[in-house]
Amino acid sequence: MSERLKKRRHSFRRYKILFEKKYGRVLEKLPPAGRRGLVSVVLPVFNGEKYLDEAIASVLQQTYDSIELIIVNDGSVDATEEIILKFKNPQIKYIRHNENKGLPAALNTGFAAAGGEYYTWISHDNIMLPDFIRTAAEELEANKAAAMVYGNMRLIDESGGILRGKGWFEHPPLSGNVILPQSVMQLNDVANNTIGAAFLYRANAAALLGGYDVRRFGIEDYDYWMRMNEVFDIVHMQCGEPLYLYRFHSGSLTAGDERLGITRRRPELMDYDRLRRRRLISDKNDGSVRALKAVLNSLI
């Protein structure tokens, strides 16, 4: 590990110590939110007719019983709505935007309608394996100090076959398995989203953080994980088996990295995050964290 990376990791650890000294263990002070045991899954979709039915079916086929699936049709003009309406299932809530508002806005719409104790979301082209939600919920229930858990994934291609050799945390080599780092101490200081797409977090933590930032389209998830990591503990699931299939195809946001500037914008996000952290542990009450600090101070 480079000296620069060691310094950054040390810097974030120091921030976490100072944050806890100032505000205490925030999660322990929050009131419960949502219906006990219910997992709210939001599925935002825009023109997702090719893979949508697989994503919906994967949620409905989970071995965990207490699930609601909130599908947000973000102004699709293809057969998306027709596919959604084929699923006659009381677990599904269907919401339609009359125009395309973008992924972060669709997520916020979905979670505003969520009633669960735990939250997650799935892209319309990905697949949850049957035991994913049960395993994640059991691990989050067992780890009362954690606000969020995340797990390993397996990459698949357009046809659903294992995608080998992409290299992103792939282990063993050419397996297609994405084995993510066990620690999130580098998440806020190294421009690499090491959380991935397989995650579950608490509704009361989400209520404190607020919604996804609509200005961060393409990196809204990374920004949200960083905000989560600033205030709460995020832990890797003890289950090392990939329970989530992440599809890489020509129409995915990941494939549109260069066009959307996803990687290019990450250093800017790092800079903003460092400023936000300084403001959170400062005695001054200024900037974009004013409202959050007011809530945190009320919990002391």
Task: List the domain boundaries for the chain.
Answer: 3-299
Find the helix or strand (DSSP H, E) in which 138 lies. helix 132-142
Mean pLDDT of 186-207: 94
| pLDDT of residue 187 exceeding 70 | yes
* Six-digit token string for 220: 């809204």
For residues 19 and 16, give the distance between their C-alpha atoms in angstroms, rounded to a whole number.
Answer: 5
Query: Which of 198, 111, 200 has its CA nearest to residue 147?
Result: 200
Sheet with 177-178: list strands edge to edge.
Answer: 127-128, 244-247, 153-156, 177-178
What does the pLDDT read at residue 68? 99
For residues 296 and 290, give the distance between their C-alpha atoms in angstroms, rounded to a whole number.
Answer: 10
Query: Which of 88, 7, 93 has its CA nearest to residue 42?
Result: 93
What does the pLDDT read at residue 10? 67
Cβ–Cβ under 8 Å, residues 143 and 116:
no
Residues in contact with 203: Cβ distance below 8 Å, sequence separation at least 6, in sequence order: 33, 34, 40, 114, 116, 117, 118, 119
Distances (CA, A) of 245 to 60, 241, 250: 15, 11, 16
For residues 259 and 273, give the distance between their C-alpha atoms in angstroms, rounded to a whole number.
Answer: 23
For residues 63 and 61, give the distance between their C-alpha atoms in angstroms, rounded to a whole number.
Answer: 7
| Count, residues in the chain | 300
For residues 257 and 218, give the distance between their C-alpha atoms in angstroms, rounded to a whole number.
Answer: 8
Range among 1-5, 229-233, 257-261 rated most confident? 229-233
Q: Give per-residue pLDDT as tens, 12-52.
A: 999 999 999 999 999 999 999 999 999 999 999 999 999 99
Query: Which of 53, 43, 47, 60 has its CA nearest to residue 107?
Result: 43
Distances (CA, A) of 119 to 11, 35, 196, 217, 252: 30, 11, 15, 20, 23
Residue for token digits 């947000």? 72
- Cis peptide leading into 104, omega within 30 of 0? no
What does the pLDDT read at residue 136? 99
For residues 12 and 189, give the distance between their C-alpha atoms in angstroms, rounded to a whole number.
Answer: 7
* Six-digit token string for 193: 């989203």
What does the pLDDT read at residue 33? 98
Fill in the DSSP letter of residue 170: B
| pLDDT of residue 203 exceeding 90 | yes
The topology under which CATH files domain 3-299 is Spore Coat Polysaccharide Biosynthesis Protein SpsA; Chain A (3.90.550)
